[in-house]
Chain A
Amino acid sequence: MAMLEVENIHSYYGNIHALKGISLTVEEGEIVTLIGGNGAGKTTTLRSITGILKPRQGHVRLEGEELAPYKPHQIVYKGVAMVPEGRRIFARLSVSENLDMGAYSRNSKSEIKADLERVFELFPRLKERRNQVGGTLSGGEQQMLATGRALMAHPRLLLMDEPSMGLAPVLVESIFEKITEINKEGTTILLVEQNALMALSIANRGYVLQTGEIILHDTAEALRTNEVVRKAYLGIT
């Protein structure tokens, strides 16, 4: 059974038809990427999965279970965590407090502690700065913190919305290495990106989104060589 199954969803902002029948699946252990330009509906797709936006039509299933009846916070308890677009860390809370908030949905102190160790191992920088206020971190560190915060929920499925946004190329590379690492440790990842080249280099499969519709779906390998993708998203002619 697929970890995540999105079937023909239609989502609206008021009267604007933002998603026009999106279907995608993410198998357990995969990194799947969703690429596309501005306004293609990438973030809207993630919002529809996390329940912040309820699709008017179609189904979202997590391991076969319909997510429609659940509220956004309940979906977190089901094992779906999100690294939001633009990081959105709690700027006035310290690094530790941010991570602590990430574990809000959990009760076992020992498990939380183990996960904190895991996050600190993954991002030693956060450990160094754990008493610093989030807003004073650099962009790269904030991205680490946002990722760490999502991991503190111990998700089975991690949704990442444009982790490369506004970061220097060197930092982007290191963040993507970490994404691979997180995936290897057993977390399934759905990655939304504008930086298609980077995303396709670490993903297993990819979906190309355009104005609310999926226009292409293939393995990452195949998409990288696909003529349309190369022209439109990779800037290679």
Chain B
Amino acid sequence: MNVRLASREGLLTGFINLCCILLGLTGLAGTMVGGWFHLSSRQPGAWLLLLGIAVWGGVRAVRRVPDPSRNKTLIAGLVAGVMHGLTLAVSLWLISTLLDAGAEVRKWLVQLTPEAIRLLTFGLSPVAAAALMFVVMTTAGLVGALWVRASERYPWQRTLSKGPTTVRTRFLALPAVQNFMQRKHSQQILWGGGLLILLFFPFVLGQYWNYTLGTVGIYVILGLGLNIVVGFAGLLDLGYVAFFAIGAYIVAILTAPAPHGIMMNFWLVVPIGIVLAALAGVLLGIPVLRMRGDYLAIVTLGFGEIIRILSKSDALTDFTGGPRGIRSVGGPGLFGFDVSSEFYFMYIIILGIVLAAYVTLHLQQSRVGRAWMAMREDEDVAQAVGIYTLQYKLLAFATGAALAGFSGVIFASRNKFTGPEDFTLLVSINVLCLVIIGGMGSIPGVVAGALVLKGLPEILRQLADYRMLAFGALLILMMIVRPEGLWPSTRRQMELHERAEQSGEPDAGSSPETGP
């Protein structure tokens, strides 16, 4: 029975490996590793990836063995290795034979260059290469099995998943930190210090990083807003981009020379954008907030699309610039100086984040925050303890929309342009993702989430075509390893841990979602 499971794992990982070869990921790994270590050959990197996956197959196979004795472990690893090796050896033989026969494989598989195949065959004949592949992969499966035995002595996985939390608690328990925290103005000093460092940042960063981190910052403000709606009040809003768009279009219409030529001062437009976006939030909120859960998500999704489609509709072309958008959006000036470069915008964004975080924090800790919390947990009961849910929902929607409007104003003014394609559904999804990845309901989590979601793609640029693939894989990995988010609020952390401790016991009566 275990043999079957083990061979299945071997086949599965073998198939994954095959996909890597066919998609050219092995070649990419070769280039990258070669680049890091200044190697002339791409072979080490390519084989590192192949072997890594094969070893992983061995590990997975051993995990399937219920009570692993030493022999069983080795057998499982061997079986997985053999199956893995067979898969790859046969495929390799097939591919190289086909290539030798002059088949036009590249028509379908662009990455399958003769050079890529040579990385794997070392220029041997198809049969010899296949045999070599088989032997190596079988060994790798065995290594995987041995790895499991070794790693049982040191539970590194648990350390990895608990690591960040442990580091934080340990740090907070240090005597020096404790002493500092007990001082009178420790909080203020900490915030002030952090702010000073932040203010210093734009000087150090070049134009490129000021722009990139500025985008991250805009997403932080967006995230803080959506965090109020989704994280605090528990309303799933998939059309959040609409308010972002409203902010952007307001600044564009009011400051650009065309199509209206109003050309107002940027600083006057900021409050107008915020207020109008909040108003839009209320106007949308009144009809839709009677819906719950999935229905609300769908309706807001529709609203987001309506705003985007309206902005590029023919009927409104004179007003919004239509599909071409609005150019030469005005930037901020200060006492006659133009301060609209990336560098100055960084300060405006930092200021915006600080303000948004301050507002969010205050709301969270107030009576309003408590009402949101009750609503998120159980709307009916919230009503039954005296909370006027409609009012608090509107407030959450309006606050979230105001922050989105604000970031929209900054966004359009910084880009000096706004157009319908800046406000696709993807923006809403991105913001929602960053809130979830950071940790729902957590303010520092939003910052962490934005850095990962908007910053990571920049860092992954050297992966070229595979950037988004790696990004997606990383996101999945992150949610598996830390489902509570990167920097969760203490509450959510508590929930997940409590749940883990009482796993197995069905928690009766704790399903508030199943309303009448």
A231 to B382 alpha-carbon distance, docked (Å): 39
Instruction: Output the nearest chain A residue to B373 by Cβ-Cβ distance.
Output: A93
Instruction: Tell whether, in the assembled complex, residue A139 and residue B498 are in contact, meaning their CB atoms are under 8 Å apart.
Output: no
User: Known interface pairs A84-B380, A93-B373. Does A105 touch B510 (Cβ–Cβ under 8 Å)?
Assistant: no
A105 to B378 alpha-carbon distance, docked (Å): 16
**B508 at interface, CB cutoff 8 A:** yes
Q: Give the residues in chain B near A102, CB-CB below 8 Å.
A: 385
Instruction: Tell whether, in the assembled complex, residue A104 and residue B509 are in contact, meaning their CB atoms are under 8 Å apart.
Output: no
List residues 184-228 of chain A with CB under 8 A from any CB of chain B. Answer: none
Stretch from A21-29, A68-76, A118-126 at the B interface: A68-76
Residue-wise, chain B 277-315 has the 8 Å CB interface mask toward A (1 for contact) of 000000000000000000000000000000000000000
**B264 at interface, CB cutoff 8 A:** no
Instruction: Tell whether, in the assembled complex, residue A90 and residue B377 are in contact, meaning their CB atoms are under 8 Å apart.
Output: yes
**B371 at interface, CB cutoff 8 A:** yes
- Grouping DSSP codes into helix (H, G, I), strand (E, B) and loop, the A interface class, with mixed when no group exceeds half, is mixed
**A33 at interface, CB cutoff 8 A:** no
**B416 at interface, CB cutoff 8 A:** no
Give 26 A-B contacts (CB < 8 Å), ordered by A residue. A74-B388, A76-B384, A76-B386, A81-B384, A84-B380, A84-B384, A89-B510, A90-B374, A90-B381, A91-B377, A91-B510, A92-B377, A92-B491, A93-B377, A101-B374, A104-B371, A104-B385, A105-B385, A105-B386, A135-B498, A136-B498, A136-B507, A139-B508, A142-B508, A142-B510, A166-B508
Q: A52-B383, A91-B377, A136-B498 are in contact. List 14 more A-B contacts (CB 8 A).
A: A52-B384, A72-B383, A76-B385, A84-B381, A84-B384, A88-B512, A89-B509, A89-B512, A91-B507, A91-B510, A133-B498, A134-B510, A135-B498, A135-B507
User: Which of B371, B383, B494, B510 has the most chain A CB atoms inside 10 A of its CB?
Assistant: B510
User: Known interface pairs A88-B378, A93-B377, A135-B498. Does A104 touch B512 (Cβ–Cβ under 8 Å)?
Assistant: no
Instruction: Tell whether, in the assembled complex, residue B384 and residue A72 are in contact, meaning their CB atoms are under 8 Å apart.
Output: yes
**B495 at interface, CB cutoff 8 A:** yes
User: Known interface pairs A92-B377, A136-B498. Does A101 touch B512 (Cβ–Cβ under 8 Å)?
Assistant: no
**B370 at interface, CB cutoff 8 A:** yes
Q: Give the residues in chain B near A77, CB-CB below 8 Å.
A: 386
**A32 at interface, CB cutoff 8 A:** no
Instruction: Tell whether, in the assembled complex, residue A71 and residue B388 are in contact, meaning their CB atoms are under 8 Å apart.
Output: yes
A74 to B391 alpha-carbon distance, docked (Å): 13
Residue-wise, chain A 150-187 has the 8 Å CB interface mask toward B (1 for contact) of 00010000000000001000000000000000000000
Which 3 pairs show the lowest CB-CB distances between chains A and B?
Answer: A105-B386, A135-B510, A76-B386
A88 to B378 alpha-carbon distance, docked (Å): 8
> CB within 8 Å of B: which residues of A?
50, 52, 71-74, 76-77, 81-82, 84, 86-93, 97, 100-102, 104-105, 133-136, 138-139, 142, 149, 153, 166
User: Which of A81, A89, A92, A133 has the most chain B CB atoms inside 10 A of its CB?
Assistant: A92
Residue-wise, chain B 102-144 has the 8 Å CB interface mask toward A (1 for contact) of 0000000000000000000000000000000000000000000
A72 to B495 alpha-carbon distance, docked (Å): 30
User: Which of B371, B495, B498, B509 has the most chain A CB atoms inside 10 A of its CB?
Assistant: B509
> CB within 8 Å of A: which residues of B?
370-371, 373-374, 377-378, 380-389, 491, 494-495, 498, 502, 507-512
User: Which of B370, B377, B385, B498 has the most chain A CB atoms inside 10 A of its CB?
Assistant: B385
Instruction: Output the nearest chain A residue to B391 by Cβ-Cβ distance.
Output: A73
Q: Give the residues in chain A near B495, CB-CB below 8 Å.
A: 92, 133
Which one of A73, A86, A87, A88 lies within 8 Å of B386 (CB-CB)? A73
Q: Give the residues in chain B near A81, CB-CB below 8 Å.
A: 384-385
User: Which of A73, A91, A149 has the most chain B CB atoms inside 10 A of its CB?
Assistant: A73
A102 to B388 alpha-carbon distance, docked (Å): 14
Q: Give the residues in chain B near A134, CB-CB below 8 Å.
A: 510
Instruction: Output the nearest chain B residue to A133 by Cβ-Cβ distance.
Output: B498
What is the CB-to-nearest-CB distance from A34 to chain B, in angstroms, rounded to a whole number?
Answer: 18
What is the CB-to-nearest-CB distance from A127 to chain B, in angstroms, rounded to a whole number?
Answer: 19
Q: Give the residues in chain A near B378, CB-CB below 8 Å.
A: 88, 90
Q: Give the residues in chain A near B374, CB-CB below 8 Å.
A: 90, 101, 104
Q: Give the residues in chain B near A87, CB-CB below 8 Å.
A: 509
A41 to B384 alpha-carbon distance, docked (Å): 19
Which one of A73, A136, A139 lies within 8 Å of B383 (CB-CB)? A73
Instruction: Output the nearest chain A residue to B515 by Cβ-Cβ distance.
Output: A88
A97 to B384 alpha-carbon distance, docked (Å): 16
Instruction: Tell whether, in the assembled complex, residue B507 and residue A88 are in contact, meaning their CB atoms are under 8 Å apart.
Output: no
A73 to B380 alpha-carbon distance, docked (Å): 10
Instruction: Tell whether, in the assembled complex, residue B384 and residue A101 are in contact, meaning their CB atoms are under 8 Å apart.
Output: no
Q: Give the residues in chain B near A50, CB-CB below 8 Å.
A: 384
A88 to B385 alpha-carbon distance, docked (Å): 12
A84 to B512 alpha-carbon distance, docked (Å): 11
What is the CB-to-nearest-CB distance from A167 to chain B, in angstroms, rounded to a whole number?
Answer: 10
Q: Give the residues in chain B near A93, CB-CB below 8 Å.
A: 373, 377
What is the CB-to-nearest-CB distance from B511 to chain A, in angstroms, rounded to a whole number?
Answer: 8
A135 to B386 alpha-carbon distance, docked (Å): 22
A77 to B370 alpha-carbon distance, docked (Å): 17
A138 to B491 alpha-carbon distance, docked (Å): 20
A101 to B380 alpha-carbon distance, docked (Å): 13
A136 to B388 alpha-carbon distance, docked (Å): 28
A84 to B515 alpha-carbon distance, docked (Å): 11
Instruction: Output the nearest chain B residue to A87 by Cβ-Cβ distance.
Output: B509
Instruction: Output the nearest chain A residue to B367 by Cβ-Cβ distance.
Output: A104
A102 to B370 alpha-carbon distance, docked (Å): 11
A71 to B386 alpha-carbon distance, docked (Å): 10
A134 to B511 alpha-carbon distance, docked (Å): 11
Q: Give the residues in chain B near A142, CB-CB below 8 Å.
A: 508-510
Instruction: Output the nearest chain A residue to B378 by Cβ-Cβ distance.
Output: A88
A101 to B372 alpha-carbon distance, docked (Å): 11
A91 to B494 alpha-carbon distance, docked (Å): 12
Q: Give the residues in chain A near B386, CB-CB below 8 Å.
A: 73, 76-77, 104-105, 153
Q: Give the residues in chain B near A166, CB-CB below 8 Å.
A: 508-509
Instruction: Tell whether, in the assembled complex, residue A133 and residue B494 are in contact, meaning their CB atoms are under 8 Å apart.
Output: yes
Q: Give the residues in chain B near A138, CB-CB below 8 Å.
A: 508
